[in-house]
Chains A and B, each alone.
Chain A
Amino acid sequence: MRPIVPGGGLRTYAGSVTATLTPDPTELSEATSSDSALRRFLHGLPGVDQVGAEARAAMLGTRSIKTTSKELALELAIRMVDLTTLEGQDTPGKVRALCSKAMRPDPTDPSCPPTAAVCVYPDMVGVAKEALGGSGVHVASVATAFPSGRAALDIKLADTRDAVEAGADEIDMVIDRGAFLAGRYLQVYEEIVAVREACAREDGHGAHLKVIFETGELQTFDNIRRISWLAMMAGAHFIKTSTGKVQPAATMPGTLVMLEAVRDFREATGRMVGVKPAGGIRSAKEAIKYLVMVNEVAGTDWLDPDWFRFGASTLLNDLLMQRMKMRTGRYSGPDYVTMD
C-alpha cells in the first residue's frame, strides 16, 4: 500500500475545497495543497454530536456475547493484542519475558494463539526482534519522542530510523498535539508524511506506521474525526488513540469516531486503514465490547489483527483467564497466568 496523497511540498491553493460527507480522491489531494486548504477540508467534515456518539457506543456496549461467539471473540482479541511495555525501568530481561509471553500466551495450552505484536521503546527493538525470531509476532516500536512528541523533526526522524534499522516491523509515532491544537494542520500532516518515509527500507519491506493521536489531549470528537482524516491522508497504516500515558486513554466513543473515519475513508479512496485503541482496556469484557463496535460500525473486514489492535499490558491476562474458563468451565486465578 502506498499513500494516496503525494507528500510534502507547499503548493499554491487553487479552487474551493469543501468536504462533502464522503470526499473523493481529487478533493483529498487538493486538500493537502496548503495549510488553509487543509483547514477548510478538515473543518468541512461533518460534525460529531457528542451525546449521540456516546449513546451509540453505550448501546453497542449492551450487546450480549455468549458461548461460541464469546470463544471466537476471545481468540480474536488475543491475536489482536500489541503486548506493551513502555517503562523507563524496562530491561532486556523483561522484554525477553514479554516476547515469550507474546509467542505462547498460555504456556499450558499450545492451541492458544500468539499476540499480534510486542510494543517497546526503540532501544529494546533489537532485543525483542532476536527473542521473537521467526515466530510471526511483530515488533512494534514507539518513536518520534514518545510520549509527548516534543522534539525537533530531525530528532523524531532519527528516532524512527533507529527503530526501523533495529528491525521494527511497526512504528507507533505520536503527532505534534501542540501544532494540531494550534491549527497548524499542514505541519502535522507533513510530519506524518516524513515519518512514513523514514519507515521505508531499501528492500521495500518498510515498517508499518501507526499514528497516535493522544485523544485525551485533543478532547473533542470533532478533533478526533479531523485528525483521523489528516493521518489517513498522510499515509498512516493505522490510527491509534493514545500513548497510555495520558488519561483518559482509549474510550469507546472516541474509538467509534475513528472507526467511522476509517470506514468513510475506504468508501472515499478504497484504501483500508487499521484502528488501535490503546490504554485503559483491561478486561476481556471491555475488549469484546470494542469488537462488537468494530463489527457493527466499520464492518467485519476490520475484525482481523491486520486491521484492529489492542494496545495493552494487563488485558492479555484477563483474556487468557476468560479463555480458560470457556474451555474448562472453571474460573482460575491470577496465579494461573504468567505475570509477564
Chain B
Amino acid sequence: MTSTPTGTVFEYAPAPESTAIVDIRSSYGLFVDGEFVDPTGGRSFKTVNPATEEVLAEVAEAGEDDVDLAVRAARRAYTRTWGRMSGRERGKYLFRIARLLQERSRELAVLESIDNGKPIRESRDFDVPQAAAHFFYYAGWADKLRYAVPAADPRPLGVAGQVIPWNFPLLMLAWKVAPALAAGNTVVLKPAETTPLSALLFAEICQQADLPPGVVNILTGAGETGRAVVAHPDVDKVAFTGSTEVGKQIARAVAGTRKKVTLELGGKAANIVFDDAPVDQAVEGIVNGIFFNQGHVCCAGSRLLVQESVADEVLERLKRRMGTLRLGDPLDKNTDVGAINSAEQLTRIKELSDVGEQEGAGRWSPPCDLPTNGFWFPPTIFTGVSQAHRIAREEIFGPVLSVLTFRTPAEAVEKANNTPYGLSAGVWTDKGSRILWAADKLRAGVVWANTFNKFDPTSPFGGYKESGYGREGGRHGLEGYLTWEGKA
C-alpha cells in the first residue's frame, strides 16, 4: 500500500476447521486384495504434519514381496472380475465411489490439509470436489468406451502400476485411478511417502463401496517401492506423475518392455501478460498461477513474462496483492498460503532462491511472519531475471516467481518456448486473435487464456518435451488405458 492505513483494522479472527471429523490411526498397513495387511518386511515410516512437524502416523513400507502380492491380487481381480465385468457395472462402482468422495468430502479435505500442508480452502474447494468430479466423469465413460477411441473393440490393458506425487495426493489418485478403472484395468497405486493418508482413506472408501478385492491396491512407501511397482514384470501399464528426473528413470526402466507408459512431469510455465490485459484479473491470475498450493504445482505459472510497457505497474499491483495473502495454519479457513510439504522440499526452494540472489536477480517478499514450527516459505518474486538464470530454467516447485519482460509478442512466445519443459502456459490479453495466435505458437500441453490453473475432468492435460507424454483427463485420458486393433 502506498498510504498509511487510518481506518479500522479488520483482523480476521482464527477460523480453524475442526479436526474432530478425521480419525487418524496410529499405524496403517498396506491395502492389498481388499484388506489392510502388514508389510512382509515389517518396515514402516512416519508421516508428519508439515505445518507443525508433529508425527501423524506410522505407515507401512512396501517391499518387493508386497509389490508382488499386490500385482498378483490386481491380476486376479482383472482376470476374474473387473476385466470381465460389463462397462455398465463398472460404472456403477465408480459412481458409488464418486458419491462417497462427496459424502466424506470434509473428512478428506481436513485430512489432506493435515498431511500435505495445503490450505483447507483449497482442499475443500478444489482438490476434493475435483477428485469426485473425475470419478463422476469417468464413471460415465465406463459403458461408452467404443465411442472413446477410433475402434469398435477397445480393450483394457490389464494391471496398471501408478506412482503419484505429494502435491495433490487425492486428486492425482483420482486422475490415475478413475480412467484406469473405467477402462477395465485394475491398479496398484503408490502414493508419495510424505502424503499417504488420503490414499489410505480412499482405500477405506473402496471397501465401503464394495469394490471387488484386488481392483485397487495401495502400497505406501518411498522411491524403492515405486521402483518395484514400475519394474514388476506383470504390470502392463505404468503411469507416473512427478519430477522429470524420476520420469526419465522410469522411461529407462520400461524401455524395451511391453509396458505402456504415460508420464506427467515437471514444468516451468510462462504466464504472458500483454499490455492490453485486463490488469486486475491478470494480477489475480499471476497470484493463482504461482502461489496456489504453495507453488507445488507442476503446471505453475512460475515465469511471469510481462510486456515492458506495463511491467512496472503490473509489478506494483502484484506486490500490493501479495501483501494481502494470508500465510499460516493450513486448517484456518482464511489461509491462502499453507506450509511447504517437507523439509526436503523447503531446502530445495531455499537453495534455488539463494541461487537467484547470487545470480543478481532482485528478491522481494511481502512482510510476513513465518510460524516457528513446520516448513514455511514466504511468497517470493524475483525481478530482473533473464533466460540464463537458473531460476528461469529450473523448476523450483515452490511459491517463487521469476519475472521477465518482453517487447513484442514474438519475443514473448520465443522466451516462453525457450525451456526444456512444455506443460502449460498462460496468455493475458483482451484481444481474441492474439490469444489464438499465441496458443498456436506456444509449445505447451495446456494454454490458459485470461485464467490460470483451471481444471476440468473433461479437458485433457499433459506435456510437451520434458514435461512428459500421454494425456490425462477427458476422452484422451482413456486412451492411455485402452488398446484396440490397429493401435500402435
Binding site for B on A (CB under 8 A): 20-22, 46-49, 51-53, 55-56, 62-70, 72-73, 76, 260, 266-267, 291-292, 295-296, 299-304, 307
**Are B284's CB and A52's CB within 8 A?**
yes
Assess A299 versus B313: contact at CB under 8 Å? Given A65-B12, A69-B12. Answer: no
Q: Which residues of A lie under 8 Å from residue B223 when comparing CB positions?
A: none
Q: How far is the CA of A48 from the CA of B280 in the complex (A)?
A: 7
Interface residues of B in 1-32 (CB under 8 A from A): 1-3, 5-15
Assess A304 versus B324: contact at CB under 8 Å? Given A46-B278, A64-B334, A267-B2. Answer: no
Shortest distance in angstroms between A268's beta carbon and chain B's nearest beta carbon? 11
**Are B1's CB and A52's CB within 8 A?**
no
Kindly identify which residue among B7, B13, B314, B451 contacts A67, using a CB–CB cutoff of 8 Å: B13
Main secondary structure of the interface of B (DSSP, over half): loop
Kindly identify which residue among B5, B9, B11, B12 contacts A63, using a CB–CB cutoff of 8 Å: B12
Q: Which residues of B lie under 8 Å from residue A63 when comparing CB positions?
A: 12, 333-334
Q: Is B430 an interface residue (CB 8 A)?
A: yes
Q: Mark B393-432, 1 if CB is under 8 A from A, else 0.
A: 0000000000000000000000000000000000000100
Q: Which residues of A lie under 8 Å from residue B276 when comparing CB positions?
A: 46-47
Kindly identify which residue among B5, B7, B451 contacts A51, using a CB–CB cutoff of 8 Å: B451
**Are B430's CB and A69's CB within 8 A?**
no
Q: How far is the CA of A55 from the CA of B12 in the complex (A)?
A: 21
Q: Is B148 an interface residue (CB 8 A)?
A: no
Q: Is B196 an interface residue (CB 8 A)?
A: no
**Are B281's CB and A56's CB within 8 A?**
yes
Q: Mark B305-320, 1 if CB is under 8 A from A, else 0.
A: 0000010011001000
**Are B284's CB and A56's CB within 8 A?**
yes
Closest to B312 in A: A21
Q: Is B294 an interface residue (CB 8 A)?
A: no
Q: Which residues of B lie under 8 Å from residue A260 when comparing CB positions?
A: 280
Kindly identify which residue among B5, B12, B280, B333 contacts A53, using a CB–CB cutoff of 8 Å: B280
Q: Which residues of B lie under 8 Å from residue A66 when comparing CB positions?
A: 13-15
Q: Is B121 an interface residue (CB 8 A)?
A: yes
**Are A47's CB and B430's CB within 8 A?**
yes
Kindly identify which residue among A21, A55, A62, A67 contacts B310, using a CB–CB cutoff of 8 Å: A21
| 16 sampled A-B residue pairs with Cβ under 8 A | A20-B310, A46-B276, A47-B276, A48-B280, A51-B450, A52-B280, A52-B284, A53-B280, A62-B121, A64-B15, A65-B13, A267-B2, A295-B10, A299-B5, A300-B10, A302-B7
**Are A304's CB and B7's CB within 8 A?**
yes
Q: Which residues of A lie under 8 Å from residue B3 when comparing CB positions?
A: 266, 301
Nearest 3 CB-CB pairings of A with B: A52-B281, A64-B15, A64-B333
**Are A72's CB and B2's CB within 8 A?**
no
Assess A49 versus B13: contact at CB under 8 Å? Given A64-B334, A72-B8, A300-B5. Answer: no
Q: Which residues of A lie under 8 Å from residue B2 when comparing CB positions?
A: 267
Assess A46 versus B279: contact at CB under 8 Å? Given A51-B451, A62-B333. Answer: yes
**Are B285's CB and A52's CB within 8 A?**
yes
Closest to A260 in B: B280
Q: Which residues of A lie under 8 Å from residue B285 when comparing CB positions?
A: 52
Q: Is B125 an interface residue (CB 8 A)?
A: yes
Assess A73 versus B10: contact at CB under 8 Å? Given A48-B278, A62-B121, A301-B5. Answer: yes
Kindly identify which residue among B8, B11, B278, B313 contacts A49, using a CB–CB cutoff of 8 Å: B278
Q: How far is the CA of A156 from the CA of B5 in the complex (A)?
A: 38
Closest to A70 in B: B13
Q: Is B346 an interface residue (CB 8 A)?
A: no
Interface residues of B in 275-311 (CB under 8 A from A): 276-281, 284-285, 310
**Are B1's CB and A299's CB within 8 A?**
yes
Shortest distance in angstroms between A73's beta carbon and chain B's nearest beta carbon? 7
Q: How far is the CA of A179 from the CA of B276 in the complex (A)?
A: 27
Q: How far is the CA of A21 from the CA of B276 in the complex (A)?
A: 10
Name 9 extra pairs, CB < 8 A, besides A52-B278, A62-B125, A301-B3: A20-B310, A21-B279, A52-B450, A66-B14, A69-B11, A70-B13, A299-B5, A300-B8, A302-B7
